[in-house]
Amino acid sequence: MKKRVLLLFLTAAFAGILLSGCKKNVGTPEDNAVVETDEEENDPEEEQESGLLFGYSSADMSNPFYETLKESIKTSLEEHGDRILVRDAENSVDTQIAQISEMIEAGVDAVFLCPADAEAVMPALEELQEADIPVVNLDTKVADPGYVDAFICSDNQNAGYICGSDLVEQRPDGGRIVIVEKPSSPSINDRITGFEEAVYNKGFEVAARIDAGMGDENLRSELKQLFSEDDHIDAVMCGNDQMAVQVLDILKEAAYEDILVYSVDGSPQIKTALADLSSPMQAVGAQSPINIGKKAVETAMAILDGGAYEEEVSVETFLINRENVEMYGTDGWQ
């Protein structure tokens, strides 16, 4: 009898050791932190099913604006217990159309769309409409707003206007300016329009226009040639911060002095340049991808709940310059 009891005891102990060796994620959540990977974020169907599933279709995630916008949307959705399926079109509308089809197949409840091409993306919008999936259009308005439920963007025209107004204050006698733009982008066109309205009849002459849509190498080549041939440029207005970074690099190489650079976005990189007294960066018409993301989620929830919402929203833009850049910080977006 004693031998049998001893055998049972040893068997139970041995089983306990095996079980303890296999057990995972014991203790507090802090003790068992799960590091979120891009795969988990991009494939929520592999996660435990809970809440609603939203698609975020980005035009170009290499642009820090779209990355920050995604993070803002993701954070707001998670506060509601919902999930996000992220896809990056990498500036290819064909890729974006295919990715939106994948979202529909995945059963998304709504889509946040930053179009790679405002017109060419229409087949995807038609497919979403047929599937009865709401669309919140962000940043750049699609060609036919009738296919989206809401449009949320920055007040781009004001962002350009406040840059132009600052230039008028800095150069009250006018001067020669260079405009770096992207005619294929409606949002950038609005910014340049606002800038030109502010400097109109103030003594300014447009010395050159450079299309940044032709690629970075072409932009740098044109800028180098311009600054090597023309030493009477007073200011450069850039349609976004990515363009401004290229301008600042070329100006540094050319040792061009007494020139003012303006932009629209408000990225950490450009705010860092503003904080550098040796930089020609003068001011930026700042937008807030964080606030746009919050408003986007708020709007999407209202659409799905059948509540009231604004069909078109322009989120405030404001000037950040050397005097107030410390207030906004240089380590993140506003």
pLDDT tens string 145-174: 999 999 999 999 999 999 999 999 999 999
Q: What pLDDT score does 233 carry?
A: 95
The strand order across the sheet containing 318-321 reads: 204-211, 175-181, 235-238, 260-265, 281-286, 318-321
Question: How many Cβ atoms sit within 10 Å of the Cβ of residue 74?
Answer: 20
Dist CA 320 CA 174 (whole Å): 22
Backbone dihedral angles phi then psi of residue 318, each to the nearest 5 degrees: -155, 160
Dist CA 132 CA 110 (whole Å): 9
Dist CA 323 CA 127 (whole Å): 49
Instruction: Please report, rounded to a whole number, the percentage of residues in the chain having pLDDT higher than 90.
Output: 79
pLDDT at residue 285 is higher than 50 = yes
Amino acid at 306: G
pLDDT at residue 21 is higher than 70 = no
Sign (positive/negative) of CA torsion 135, 141, 142, 146? positive
Residues 287-316 as b or e (16 or more Cβ within 10 Å = b): bbbbbbbbbbbbbbbebeeeeebeeebebe
Which residue, among 325, 56, 291, has the nearest Cα to 152 in the 3D structure?
A: 291
pLDDT tens digits for range 33-80:
222 334 335 554 444 567 999 999 999 999 999 999 999 999 999 999
pLDDT tens digits for range 101-141:
999 999 999 999 999 999 999 999 999 999 999 999 999 99
What is the biggest distance separating any 2 CA atoms in the chain, rounded to whole angstroms?
108
Dist CA 71 CA 73 (whole Å): 5
pLDDT at residue 300 is higher than 80 = yes
- Please provide the average confidence, as pLDDT, over all residues in the chain: 87
Q: What pLDDT score does 49 carry?
A: 66
